[in-house]
Chain A
Amino acid sequence: MKTLKALWVNLKVYYMMTFRNIFLMVVNYLLPILCYLMFSAVFVGINEENKKTIIMSMTAFTIAMNSYLGLPINVVRYSAGDIKRAYIAGGLRLRRVFLSAAVSNIFHCFVISMTILLTAKPLFGAYLPESMPRYFAALFVGILLSTMIGVAIGMFSKTNAMATVISQALFQPSIFLSGVLIAVEYLPKFMQKITDIIPLKHTYVLLKGYDETSLIVSLAFTAVLFVMLIIRYRFIIRRS
């Protein structure tokens, strides 16, 4: 009971803090929505065929934005510095904080994804996914994978600056090589090969429709990241 209560309080406090942090509100909500509206208008305006994939591409884009750009900055302050020391000295378990950050991000991603799903058709004439259960399953896998990448960036960074650099280094290539903004077929051949190791690409593929390879790759990435995070967590809490 004590553990559950502590976890619940962590989640509650962490979630409430997000809404008081202007930066996080901008990165988690304002920017993704603005980007979604702008890119959708442009892509649909350029080519009506984009209506078939606009929901999936914008969902993948905003999930990546939330997870790669916003989440690491929020995580890094607990993995290094005075806040981390205060938590450890005070007997608080950092894993609950990291878990709260991840759950909070999953929620933010879900809210934005639902916003896109509900507004894309009325606003841009977008085509809805053929199978909602499959779509939501793919959404869950994609959000989970992106969230773990975001937590990993935060946990492996020692400073905000480092987290920002790594975030950008992962976000920009992911966006351009995943097919979200530019179809993979239009990329040079050698770059098409590279896209196979971009997690966001597989998220996008899954959102568009079931693909066994992308599902296996996504789950494999998730499993590897999970192990990495456990190892990194042990390193963070060790006495130095």
Chain B
Amino acid sequence: MENIIEVRNLDKSYGKTQVLFNLSLDVRRGECLGIVGGNGAGKTTLLECIEGIRDWQKGDILIDGMTIEDDSRQIREILGVQLQSSSLPDEMKVKEAVELFSAEHGAGFDDRLYDELDVRQLREKQYGKLSTGQKRRLHLLLAILHDPKIIILDEPTAGLDVNSRQLLYAKIDELKKEGKTILLTSHDMFEVENLCDRVLFIEKGRIGRELSEESLADGDRHIVAVSSEKNSLVGADLIYSSLKEEIDGELYFECGSINLCLTELLERLKAEDDRITNIYIKKKTVEEELTKMMRGDGHENA
């Protein structure tokens, strides 16, 4: 699959403070890439560089083969952006915002978007009188009304209630099915895990870890906790299971393939004539991966 966004060796500083360090990443055409990290990790700065809002000191960014310096207008036509903190004049009506953004892109407006994002009843309302969720939905609408190829969403569901989130998830899902490329940041790991095809972790301005499409799929990322009478699994030479920690006699194994992992563990226990006293399996979440990364526990790709 070809890349639609390429970032190469990006360095970005605010004054004397460097926030991105030689950062490189690719976004494949048609994928939904999640970017996660702690506060101040550089997620928003990275997105703003890609969006063409921020300048950078070193490196290159190509969007569909174009650079922001040379092809700014063409890039704006294929890019739809929902910023983390976005605003419009308080006196502007929703329908006026839609009209303005449509006119600037020379795009005819598909009226159905009002219903898909549940903003039809807000058309005559002024921006300053909208709730947070309503503003978010409006900004998403403004980001996609010109049918862009690439959609960048910076914390799209921050501050939203459950209903608004579900609405946004449904729309993002639909955009994915249409083949749009989506770049998404979020502090909601459930959202990232369920919407994204691939997840990149950013830590202190660097790409720390990647969760591939395969490892995000169901059944492929699990933790198996086992305790046995003879504790024979300690020090065992295992291929499909990786011992991560031992807590109160319970051994925590990280598994790539759950089937192979369990088979291996059970065979080893049987070979040592050991009996299980307790076993449980849980799926490893993106949140756990992020927490681990932020604690500084390992940086291999999954």
Contacts and interface: CB of A to CB of B under 8 A. Distances in A.
A238 interface: yes
Nearest to A8: B103
B53 A91 contact: no
B97 to A, nearest CB: 8
Contact of B76 (A9, A82, A83, A91): A91
Contacts of A10: 100, 103
Given A90-B142, A91-B101, A240-B55, 19 more contacts: A2-B106, A5-B103, A6-B104, A9-B104, A16-B93, A17-B91, A17-B92, A17-B96, A82-B85, A82-B87, A83-B88, A86-B87, A89-B86, A91-B76, A91-B104, A92-B100, A92-B104, A96-B104, A239-B52
B89 interface: yes
B55 A9 contact: no
Interface in B224-271: none
A93 interface: yes
A103 to B, nearest CB: 15
Interface in B95-111: 96, 99-101, 103-106
A193 interface: no
A20 B91 contact: yes
A13 B85 contact: no
A91 B103 CA distance: 11
Interface string A70-96: 000000010001110110111111001
Most chain B beta carbons < 10 A, residue from A5, A9, A86: A86
A17 B97 CA distance: 11
B96 A16 contact: yes
Contacts of B51: 89
B20 interface: no
Interface string B101-128: 1011110000000000000000000100
8 contacts: A2-B106, A13-B92, A13-B96, A81-B87, A82-B85, A83-B88, A85-B83, A86-B87
Nearest to B49: A239
B86 A86 contact: yes
Contacts of B68: 239
A21 interface: yes
B299 interface: no
B17 to A, nearest CB: 14
Interface residues of B, number: 34
A20 B83 contact: no
B70 to A, nearest CB: 14
Contacts of B101: 90-92
Contacts of B88: 83, 86
Given A9-B99, A16-B96, A89-B81, A240 B104 contact: no
Nearest to B68: A239
A91 B90 CA distance: 20
Nearest to A239: B55
B61 to A, nearest CB: 11
A6 B104 CA distance: 5
B177 interface: no
B76 A239 contact: no
Most chain B beta carbons < 10 A, residue from A13, A16, A88, A93: A13
A162 B139 CA distance: 29
Contacts of B168: none
A91 B77 contact: yes
Q: Which 5 A-B pairs have the closest CB atoms?
A: A91-B76, A82-B87, A239-B55, A2-B106, A20-B91
Contacts of B200: none
A37 to B, nearest CB: 28
B106 to A, nearest CB: 4
Contacts of B63: none
B50 to A, nearest CB: 11
A9 B103 contact: yes
A96 B103 CA distance: 12
A90 B91 contact: no
Nearest to A5: B103
B174 to A, nearest CB: 21
A85 B152 CA distance: 14
